[in-house]
Chain A
Amino acid sequence: MAEQPSRRGVLGTILSALAAPFLLPGKLFAALRSPRKPKWGMVIDLDRCTGCQSCVVACRVENNVPVAGPELNEQDRAIFWMDMLTVPEGKYPDLRTQFIPVPCNHCENAPCVKACPVHATYINEEGIVAQIWGRCIGCRYCTTACPYSRRYFNWKAPVWSESQKQYLNPDVATRPVGVVEKCTLCHHRIRARRMKARLEGRELTDADVRKLPACAQSCPADAITFGDLNDPESEVSLLSRSPRAFKLLEELGTHPKLTYLREAKWKE
């Protein structure tokens, strides 16, 4: 076990954190109130994806998503912020199956946001479709409104065994029964990385965030890219302009910030 700090030490840390903005040198203070806001987006290259589902597990570990267990899973009530859609087509032997990893699409014109009667879900200033768990009344209008089924209702309170509690991520709160939860694009990681960068006296770069979310970091095939869509030179911006790019259910006009790159096959 790590060494225990004195209470004074803990309080001191917290006070200093709260006071930090007032004590920082002028340049850094200005940096904290940076005027240019990023717009976070993601690109998933289906040609690289091998369907291993590492992103799914990585997301669940990172975001303290509980295992549903056989019963809830049979009822389709398991929570997967990052899901793996399998789309089989054809008849043996003329078969085709697509494996599509789907996190929240973080739509610019998000149907869920419009449906929420209590403003528990909103698009934050960096483009993330966020959810305030404490404000959610559990009406599930948003889960119905989302054309991608990317919102999950907590039908049961999560059950953590004593041993499971040990590995919960201390950076992410768990959700109680009766609220809707969803992908946050690992915003806690973005915040931590931004703070680190600013303490080094610089802004976040594309290289900082390219593989920042847990799914992107874990992907063995390097299929998931994350970054700032407001920066025309960022890798996500470049990739979203690829001729292979498409969005899920584009025709609905939801304007997802998640772009897919079509699977290609070898041609002579």
Chain B
Amino acid sequence: MNRRHFLKQAGAAAAGGLFLGGCDSRDPYAPEKAPVPGTDAFHTWQEKLVSSACGQCPAGCGIRVRVVEGRAVRIDGHPGCPINQGGLGPKGQSGLQLLYHPDRIRSPIRRDGPRGSGLWKPVSWDEAIGEIAGRLKELRARGDSKGLVVLDGEPRGMMPQLWDRFLLVYGSPNHVDHRSATDGGKVLAMAYMHGVPELPAYDWSRTRYVLGFGASLFESWCQSIHLARAATQWRRGMPGQRVKFVQVSPRFSVTAAKADEWVPIEPGTYGALALGLAHVLIRDEAYDKDFVHDHTFGFDDWKDAEGRPHRGFRDLVTKDYPPERAAQVTGVSVRTIERLAREMVDHRPAVSLADGGAAAATNGLGTAMSIHALNALLGNLERPGGMLVQRAAPLAPWPAVEPDAAAKAPRVDGAGTDLPLARGFVQGLPEAILSGKPYPVQALLLYRSNPVFSKPDGRKWVEALQKIPLVVSFSPLPDESTFWADLVLPDHTYLERWEIVEPVPSMGYPVLTLREPAVKPLHDTLASGDALIRLARAIGEPTAAAFPWENYRTACEARLKGLLGAKNASVAATSPGELRKGIELAGGWSQQPYPFEQWDGAFATLSKRFEFYSRTIAKRLAEVPDLEKRLESMGVATRGDDLCLPHWEPPRFGGDPGEYPFLLVAYRGMNHAEGGARHIPFLRELPAAGRHSWSEMAEIHPDDLARLKIKEGGFVWVESPAGRRRMMAAASPGTRPGTVGVVLGNGAWPPARDEQTPGAASLLVNRSDPLAGILALQGTRVRVRKDGA
């Protein structure tokens, strides 16, 4: 033993502070048990830090996992990762409770009784995959391949791309994601105005003014951890300067409390406020005229090729949205509207942000477009401090595949057909499955999805699942939807698998993080990427040829090669090994700076400009037969050119106002955002939620509680036309009088099978933007009744 080695050991022993020599059974003074439960096996002093990427939300923060003798004991943020720079959110911190969750499904299981009986039998991976492959092969041979639906809850990264590839070759158009129930509005506004169907990115560090429309930046924004860092910069990063952050929302949320100013507003009227602000900017000629002239389309009235006149944005806003009207609709005073508009102009670059929740109403698309249009008026698009389009990392593409003709069939959820402007319509699936229209669903794969709990119409989902001949779940934990599956192929947790992580858009420039297993798989589980590759192989031709990789990791590694020798990359590497080491060390891969003001190719719309007037919407609507009748039957009030422009119409709510006097404000909180974390005790017991944090709360204004003679902490039934749920009444001064705040994603654990209203989402009347399919989270009226009364 040389001195250095000796010193290291001495240091480690002293630093650890635990002397476990007492574990020797022959030692007469040995304690009966180790002082820390679990440490009985901690005696080799083998310790390492594994660089990886968090998977508790789609932000993709870099992490370092401290692994002592094969057990992960600590997760901290990776200091080098450009997203979180060493910090980590509460969800990331509690990842170990997911990894070591006692309820994890320990091997593939097959149902051993009728559907939903809860009787399961362990099977081998080969058997499970073989069985699914057999069924899917048969389906395809019958010509029913389009009857396969993949419900995919992962918004970005390798897995959604693998599913796409699989379905393309297998022959099904039905890769359904959850966007229409989460961020749908924002994505669609980007798709129709920029031509890029992706969440926007922002140059947070150079912004001078932020106007958030219900933007829950510090709670459930997809990049809340990065936003916490960015806000630090806004507030304390520039001596003598402060970025103003104004939050507009009906509910006084954590973000509203932390904003510089909070502007309360009537629910569902964000769009009218945005258009009112646009009116002031245009009236005062304070908008960025050069930008609007050079890079936008549809601002002024225009004539098409056939000489028909069309309305421009200026005309709509000038005529329809004077501040007086906006004030009347939104409840925000004219003075405030004028002041906010002036502040934005005076503090450029200023950005206007919508949240997924803000656009989640029956007027969702128009609202999201209105909020977004302000960015164009302020001329901040593609400019420093403004709104950007997320650039993709130059990953090497997988070899091209030959698509099956059936992959071009109309989608079963009606996106693009019944809903001409939608890109997906997950909340419409149960209806489509039960009615068998436009065609029957023959097999459903649930990947990171638990629709029975997280989507409206939970019971209808249960019925629908029972109607499908084959339901497979990839969930690592039991849940309300997995109950009704035929087979469960449990996924690894994110601390056990190898993959490339593409974080949801944030800073614009490309960022990747690498997820590497911190520990060996605890159970007989398999990364779903591996399961999919094996499934594709087992099906045989044509899918086998499209998945030539040995496993998921090699499939990812094949793509990483594209990063070798990339310009301006944070990790310069010439070999794959060097690249991996470099990414581990740096906590991520990025390519800075963002290419600002590259106008060629900035907008992928039909006009190659930013479109106030979306020609794609016009084109889609022109293809709808009997448009007028359809609009009438769907209850759309707007007509003509206004449908293609940022516009606002009153939101529609499910439930009669007399019978259901309250408006339901369903929102996502810090701990339950993006799918819920009911199974993680640390997140259910956060102190800010108070001592009733384990219960589901109905947040009600104290005056309303007094009027209803309900005591705080008492149980109430929250009843909507869709269902009722027993919750604890919480006196919440930040809840707008006349509304009931309910956090989505909370609920019982272990999951209950027979709940009539499986999750708070089942209180929602299943309404959506009729053209764009955006779920109306703000679209339900409820009443509150004392339990037992």
A interface residues (Cβ-Cβ under 8 A, vs B): 1-5, 7, 10-14, 16-17, 19-20, 24, 45, 47-54, 56-58, 60-62, 64, 67-70, 73-76, 78, 80, 83-86, 88, 90-93, 95-99, 160-174, 188, 191-192, 195-196, 199, 211, 214, 217-223, 264-266
B694 in the interface (beta carbon within 8 A): yes
Q: Which of A61, A160, A191 has a CB less than 8 Å from the CB of B96?
A: A61
B287 to chain A, nearest CB (A): 22
Query: Given the complex of chains A and B, what is the CA–CA distance between A218 and B693 in angstroms?
Result: 22
Of the candidates A24, A47, A58, A171, which one forms a contact with B16 in the assembled complex, judged by CB atoms under 8 Å apart?
Answer: A171
B20 surroundings in chain A (CB, below 8 A) = 10
CA distance A3 to B46 in the complex (A): 8
Judge whether A219 and B87 touch: CB under 8 Å: yes
Interface positions of B from 70 to 89, Cβ below 8 Å from A: 70-77, 84, 86-89
The stretch of B357-365, B443-451, B729-737 in contact with A is B729-737
Chain B positions near chain A (C-beta within 8 angstroms): 1, 6-21, 24, 35-39, 42-46, 68-77, 84, 86-90, 92-94, 96-97, 99-102, 218-219, 224-229, 231-232, 235-236, 242-245, 252, 254-255, 257-258, 260-262, 264, 670-671, 681-683, 685-688, 691-695, 701, 733-737
Given contacts A75-B691, A211-B86, contact A88 B686 (CB under 8 A): no
Given the complex, which residues of B lie within 8 Å of A16, measured CB to CB? 6, 9-10, 13
Residues of B near A67 (CB, < 8 A) are 681-682, 685
> Is B73 within 8 A of A169, CB to CB?
yes
Q: Is the CB of A265 within 8 A of B260?
A: yes
Contact of A217 among B86, B257, B737 (CB under 8 A): B86
Cβ of A221 and Cβ of B7 under 8 Å apart?
no
Query: 6 nearest interchain CB pairs?
Result: A220-B87, A17-B13, A165-B38, A266-B260, A70-B694, A192-B15
Bound-state Cα–Cα, A225 to B47, Å: 27
What residues of chain A lie closer than 8 Å to B10, measured between beta carbons?
A: 13, 16-17, 19-20
A167 touches B100 (CB 8 A): yes
Closest to A65 in B: B682
Q: Which residue of chain B has the shortest Cβ distance to A4 in the bound complex?
A: B44
Contact pick for A99, options B13, B236, B257, B734, CB 8 Å? B257
Query: B688 contacts A84, CB within 8 Å?
Result: yes
Which residues of the partner chain B approach A160 to less than 8 Å between Cβ atoms? 37-38
**CB <8 Å contact, A10 and B691:** no
Complex contact B232–A92 (CB within 8 A): no
Closest Cβ of chain B to A202, distance in Å, is 14
- Minimal beta-carbon separation of A150 from chain B (angstroms): 12
CB of B374, distance to nearest CB on chain A (Å): 19
Tell whether, in the assembled complex, residue B734 and residue A171 are in contact, meaning their CB atoms are under 8 Å apart: no
| A76 with B691: CB separation less than 8 A | yes
Q: A45-B236, A67-B685, A97-B734 are in contact. List 19 more A-B contacts (CB 8 A).
A: A3-B44, A13-B13, A20-B7, A48-B235, A50-B255, A57-B94, A57-B682, A76-B691, A92-B701, A97-B252, A164-B100, A167-B71, A167-B96, A170-B39, A192-B15, A217-B86, A218-B87, A218-B88, A266-B245
Contact residues in B for A11 (Cβ distance below 8 Å): 21
Among the listed B15, B90, B691, which residue makes an inter-chain contact with A53, where contact means beta carbons less than 8 Å apart? B90
- Which residue of the partner chain, among B39, B102, B736, contacts A163 with CB atoms under 8 Å? B102
Can you report 19 residue pairs joining A to B where beta carbons are below 8 Å apart? Answer: A4-B44, A14-B13, A14-B21, A53-B671, A58-B88, A67-B685, A73-B691, A76-B691, A78-B691, A85-B687, A92-B735, A93-B262, A168-B36, A170-B42, A170-B68, A191-B15, A218-B93, A220-B229, A222-B232
What B residues does A214 contact at CB under 8 A?
76
User: Which residues of B sit under 8 angstroms from A167, Cβ to Cβ?
Assistant: 38, 71-73, 96-97, 99-100
Complex: A20 Cα to B9 Cα, angstroms: 10
Judge whether A170 and B70 touch: CB under 8 Å.
Answer: no
Query: Which of B46, B90, B701, B736: most chain A Cβ within 10 A?
Result: B90
In the bound assembly, the distance between CA atoms of A168 and B688 in angstroms comes to 24
Given contacts A53-B687, A61-B94, A199-B8, contact A171 B17 (CB under 8 A): yes
Q: Are B231 and A48 in contact (CB under 8 A)?
A: yes
- Interchain CB contact (< 8 A) of B218 among A2, A51, A62: A51
- A266 touching B14 in the complex, CB below 8 Å, given contacts A58-B88, A221-B232: no
In the bound assembly, the distance between CA atoms of A172 and B39 in angstroms comes to 10
Evaluate whether A90 and B37 lie within 8 angstroms (CB atoms) in the complex, with A53-B688, A188-B17, A220-B77 already known.
no
